Amino acid sequence: MDAISVIRTKRDRGELTDAQIDWVIDAYTRGDVADEQMAALAMAILLNGMNPHEISRWTDAMIRSGERMDFSSLPLPTADKHSTGGVGDKITLPLAPLVAACGAAVPQLSGRGLGHTGGTLDKLESIPGWRALLSTDEMMQTLRDCGAVICAAGDGLAPADKKLYALRDVTGTVEAIPLIASSIMSKKIAEGTGALVLDVKVGSGAFMKDLADARELASTMVALGKAAGVDTRALLTDMSVPLGLTAGNALEVRESVEVLAGGGPADVVELTLALAREMLAAAGVHGKDPADALRDGSAMDHWRRMITAQGGDPDAALPVAGEQQVVTAPSSGVLTGLDAYAVGVCAWRLGAGRARKEDPVQAGAGVEIHAKPGATVTQGQPLLTLHTDTPERFDYALEALTDALTIAPPTTPFTPVPLILDRIA
């Protein structure tokens, strides 16, 4: 077996054999296939695609490149959620303790933000003392004691994916649906959860801009999960507008706590409840309704226990940025557009995100939203507040908002886009 023959097979629109896939993933993980050779193969896959069997075998080979977790010793069924990323997407924070309060265990392995999309671990690290890095024993103990844990994935899970993901990021092959699906699902299947719900974002602030592409990705991932014995389902959700009223680390934690306290923005509550119900159904848990767990305080109790178990202080004051600047409405009328991507880039430039994975982030930086599409606004009314510790960032951040806001005449009819666009199971 050699890399050139594998590349040629896919270059010429052929089907890779099981042996070719197993060999190239293993050899690349060990360093016997060079980056430039794997980059050529990734580009051939982007251009020529893979059939379902190839994607399934590729995913399985990536899983076998590392270890698999086992939650069979837990007394509760397990359920997990994965989002493809968006702006203001803080759903994991209230969702994990909410599902735990309803009777399922939630082993949530999360990541950090890159570019305009935020990262769950970055958000939680704005809580004083909270730790993302847990040993396997600490993770299992937190699950037993709290029902939920949100932490960083260990290096042993699908190491082939970690190496290939970094390569795709710098070779223009991130968009290949077979590689996206196998990247996400190799980690989630190796994680060992019994049920998985996928939140596939669609719109300007999402990775997938087109509904048809998002549906193809979701269907591919659901099939991979089911083939691996994981009850998997997906919701396609809108990301043309930021989710909730905040984009930024501490800002989003504050909003998540509001949801757990029974309040919070309607769209965040709606999506949290929808995903919670899907997770519980997939895990076979049919008892307490998630809406009741928000009302009676049990979800908040699980949140406080989970944060405390990971070294955090749920009562500590969250960081606040030292400088703020308000963006006002340039005219009166109906706000018909608030571009999610532009808001995400603005928050990133303020210091809430990073351009490279090793860059630091500001806990208090971000964007606070005072009006969402459909609202009637008047000239001079505050629409956004920008937060940062480094005021020299304001001008650059404001450039991202040049075409972000659309205000139409007061009589313009407005029809909101549904938050949940489709369901695939």
Q: Taking the CA of residue 306 as centre, how many other CA atoms within 13 Å lie in the half-sphere pointing to its CB? A: 31
Q: Is 131 annotated in the active site?
A: no
Q: Is 82 annotated in the active site?
A: yes
Residue 83, both tokens? 């989002």
90, 187, 215, 305: the active-site residue? 187
Q: Is 187 annotated in the active site?
A: yes
Residue 255, both tokens? 């909003």
Residue 281, both tokens? 């159904």
60, 80, 161, 339: the active-site residue? 161
Cα 155 to Cα 173: distance, rounded to the nearest angstrom: 23
Q: Is 288 annotated in the active site?
A: no
Cα 323 to Cα 335: distance, rounded to the nearest angstrom: 26
168, 201, 302, 304: the active-site residue? 168
Cα 69 to Cα 67: distance, rounded to the nearest angstrom: 7
Cα 220 to Cα 191: distance, rounded to the nearest angstrom: 19
Assign 62 to helix, strand or coil.
helix
Q: What is the dihedral of CA 159, 160, 165, 171, to 10 degrees?
A: 140
10, 57, 81, 82: the active-site residue? 82
Residues counted in the chain: 425
Q: Is 64 annotated in the active site?
A: no
183, 186, 240, 256: the active-site residue? 183
Instruction: Report yes or no: 75 and 49 within 8 Å, Cβ to Cβ.
Output: no
Q: Catalytic positions, please?
A: 82, 161, 168, 183, 187
